[in-house]
Amino acid sequence: MAHLCGLCLALRGDHGQFARVVTNYDGLLISVLTEAQTAGDGGKSGKSGGRRTAGPCPLRGMRTASVARGEGARLAAAVSLVLASAKVRDHVADGDGLLARRPVALAARRVADSWGRAGARTGADVGFDTAVLVDAVDRQVGIEALAGPGTPVLAVTEPTETATAAAFAHTAHLAGRPANAAPLAEAGRLFGRLAHLLDAVEDQAADAASGAWNPLTATGTPLTEARRLADDAVHGIRLALREAEFTDGRLAHLLLVHELPRSVDRAFGTASCGHAPTRTPEPRGAFGPPQGPYAPQHPQPPHGPYDPSRGGNPFGGEPPRPGKRGFWAGCAAAVGLCCTCKACCADEFEGPWSGKKREGLCSGCDCGDCDCSCCEACQCCECCECCSCCDC
């Protein structure tokens, strides 16, 4: 949450309040990777920027919080703005929804152009050329137009892979660790592939109903092949991260080694609650069973790759202090609980008005006690069964 809030505040600080709408979970990985390579240097490198205390926010239950700052957060903001700009222009070109109306389309195009210029300025400030992102988006349009049955789906995901590889690699330069650029570029390339594939899997039914373009449908790629490619990408990211040197890589390890396999399972409908008490047979991927440590029992709608509502707060950070809130602050906190699904998915959460701890609906799941030394070392899991998803 410190990195998510840091990205949001970096957008506001450089580009105004409205820019905060492009805050996204994938973008915060750039901030995480930058800090993972610079944490503990006391800010001597001048790159990570450390943490600062931010004021109350409705999405944090009107609490203050320690948030990430520095060039990592600004790079994440630049990438988020440029990609959001491209996405809006794509929707305008397709005439989606209200954007089919000319006045709305003109306004949206102006916003997209503004975001693109703003992202380029911030990217230049941190030494990152956003032209590689713009080029990737432009090539994506042409590739999709030419793709058809028999086209390799990896040809469609290539622009996304190139863009994320460039962004991940630049975190090594921000952190003053140029040797990390190659392995992080590989991790970024595979992360881009995985994100593109999972979006295609999750949207395939809706795209078919609406007649929208979907890479799996257009290329005739079966779900079994998509699953094999997703499992390969997860495994490749794990291997690439082993080649990189981190000062404190625990959060990056949690998100990219432990959470990504769960995202794959959710997208393919082979896992749901992160604390399901029993296992059920699951389809095998390229590297054995799906990497998620627990099997499904009560399916729920899929979440994004880094939804903080699962299991409380996987991003770390200090939990808010309990205490009673006023009526309006409690209302804001209740909205936050509903929007993030904490009331149903978190192990426990604070009552919006009383501040007292309450159990989430999935909190009755039991995954046993853990005395596993490797889990204690990485401090990113509560059950030793999770070690089945990595070689930590």
Q: How confident is the model over 317-370, as pLDDT tens digits?
A: 444 444 566 655 666 677 676 666 666 566 666 776 666 666 665 544 444 444
Last residue of a domain, one of 233, 258, 290: 233
Is 162 inside any structural domain?
A: yes
The pLDDT, as a whole number, for residue 383 is: 41
The pLDDT, as a whole number, for residue 300 is: 41
Is pLDDT of 166 > 50? Answer: yes
The answer to whether residues 123 and 227 belong to one domain is: yes
The answer to whether residues 338 and 221 belong to one domain is: no
Is 222 inside any structural domain?
A: yes
Helical segments of 126-259, H only: 131-146, 153-174, 181-210, 215-219, 223-242, 250-253
The answer to whether residues 221 and 349 belong to one domain is: no
Is pLDDT of 180 > 60? Answer: yes
For 224-234, the pLDDT digits (tens) are 999 999 999 99
The answer to whether residues 174 and 46 belong to one domain is: yes
Contact by Cβ (8 Å): 155, 143: yes
Contact by Cβ (8 Å): 214, 201: no
Q: How many Å apart are CA 81 and CA 88, to the nearest integer? A: 11
Helical segments of 98-130, H only: 102-125
What distances in angstroms separate CA 117 from CA 27, 101, 113, 124, 284, one per listed residue?
18, 24, 6, 11, 45
Is 153 inside any structural domain?
A: yes
Last residue of a domain, one of 233, 264, 285: 233
**Domain CATH number, residue 201:** 1.10.600.10
The pLDDT, as a whole number, for residue 309 is: 39
What integer best gives the mean pLDDT of the chain?
75
The answer to whether residues 76 and 196 belong to one domain is: yes
What global pTM score does this model have? Answer: 0.67
Is pLDDT of 291 > 80? Answer: no
Q: Which residue has the tokens 């809006």?
A: 88
Strand pairing partners for 172?
none
Pairing mode, if any, of strands 348-350 and 357-359?
A: antiparallel
Taking the CA atoms of the chain, what radius of gyration do you get in angstroms?
Answer: 21
Say what percent of the chain tops pLDDT 90.
32
Is 346 inside any structural domain?
A: yes
Question: Where in the sequence is the domain holding 155, given as residue range(s)?
Answer: 2-233
Q: Which of 306, 298, 308 is nearest to 259 (CA)?
A: 306
Tokens of 121: 């300025």
- Per-residue pLDDT averaged across 159-185, rounded? 94
The pLDDT, as a whole number, for residue 328 is: 59
Contact by Cβ (8 Å): 371, 385: no
Q: Where residue 95 falls among pLDDT bands split at 50, 70, 90?
A: confident
